[in-house]
Amino acid sequence: MTAAQRSRRSCLAVPGSAPRMIEKARGLPVDQFFLDLEDAVAPLAKAEARGAVVDALNAGGWGDKIRTVRVNALDTAWTYRDVVDVVEGAGAALDTLMLPKVSGADQVRWLDLTLFQLEKALGLPASSIGIEAQIEDAKGLAEVDSIAASSSRLEALIFGPADFMASINMPSLVVGEQPPGYDVGDAYHYVLMRLLTAARANGLQAVDGPYLQIRDAEGLRRVAGRSAALGLDGKWVLHPAQVDEVNGIFSPNQRDYDRAENILDAYAWYTSDEGGRRGAVMLGDEMIDEASRKMALVVAGKGRAAGLSRTEPWQPPQD
């Protein structure tokens, strides 16, 4: 599995200035967490939070979770010091940096070059630290194709719904929900499809942002299900109560996973010399071909990343 294919079903937001929340995050079954230096940290607490984030990364105990730090946006006075202090202090214990409010490819390239210099200076493996770009305003969405193609370090594009809603003057205070009066479909469909298409065209993952109504489990299922149905890879979670729900929504069920693996095995066998070099065959009641194989790869990949195991392996027909 490449870095950009790592499972990101659930990504937990953790304030970098909150030691108790950092400690609790270690034990949650999320695929990814990010220690936040941006919105969740007050301006006067930024410098102290950098040290806390470095200590938390170096202390370990994160298992196989993707270890991420969200730095401040490039229109602030804090970004450069965020990057330098975190990478110099804990670069070997860091998987990705998340850059918020990305509105152009030049911003990602700046971070790429800065990381290149830091890795050189610190003796870290080249390109060992990936980048995740948050698309949070109209300009960022308009430039999403060039952003997605801007760096080989990029692993994921992330939708930031709250700032995006503000940037287009959407008259709603409920993040991720449909705006009042919009009753003709999904107000976010274009945004998510635009981001997803740019991500897939460049071999990246696409992740949906948070659902802020922590106690509304039905709302979370509805919003997360919408993103999962489109093909996004995961969603942010803000509270432990959201983790299992989101993990389940972004994982295939056992039946679909078994079916996908069986399609891959069957197609590989039937297209071989032993199987008769056939490109289109019946598997049960379904005709499978190369297009079937490609679709099965998606479902099987998600299942493997989620840790599913096969229960009904396919066997070649016996003569």
What is 35-68 written as a DSSP string?
EESSTTS-GGGHHHHHHHHHHHHHH---TT-EEE
Residues 160 and 5: their CA atoms lie apart, in Å, by 21
CA 207/CA 234 separation, integer angstroms: 5
pLDDT of amino acid 319: 66
pLDDT value of position 318: 81
pLDDT for 68 beyond 90: yes
Mean pLDDT of the chain: 94
Q: Which helix (H) or strand (E) holds 132?
A: strand 130-135
Mean predicted confidence (pLDDT) in 158-173: 92
User: Distances from the Cα of 205 to the Cαs of 134, 154, 160, 200, 231, in angstroms?
Assistant: 12, 9, 15, 7, 10
What's the CATH number of domain 3-250, 2.40.170.20, 3.20.20.60, 3.40.50.2300, 3.40.50.300? Answer: 3.20.20.60
Which amino acids are annotated as binding site for Mg(2+), given as ranges? 136, 163
Predicted pLDDT at 50: 97
- Please report the pLDDT score of residue 1 as a whole number: 52
Which residue's structure tokens are 């008259």?
Answer: 171
The model's pLDDT over 203-224, given as tens digits with 9 standing for 90+, comes to 999 999 999 999 999 999 999 9
Stretch among 3-12, 101-110, 288-297 having the lowest mean pLDDT = 3-12
CA 22/CA 259 separation, integer angstroms: 39
Among the ranges given (13-22, 45-54, 92-101, 287-296), the one the predictor scored with the smallest mean pLDDT: 287-296
Give the pLDDT of residue 304. 86
Per the annotation, where are the binding residues?
70, 136, 163
Return phi, psi of residue 236, to 5°.
-70, 150
pLDDT mean over 107-120: 98
Q: Is the Cβ–Cβ distance between 123 and 92 less than 8 Å?
A: no
Q: Which residue ranges make up the annotated binding site for substrate?
A: 70, 136
Q: What is the pLDDT of residue 97?
A: 98
Q: Where in the chain is the domain with CATH 3.20.20.60?
A: 3-250
Tokens of 272: 């071989």
Of 7-21, 93-107, 160-174, the least confident: 160-174
Give start and end residues of each alpha helix (H) in 123-253.
138-142, 144-148, 161-167, 189-201, 217-230, 240-249
3-class DSSP state for residue 100? coil
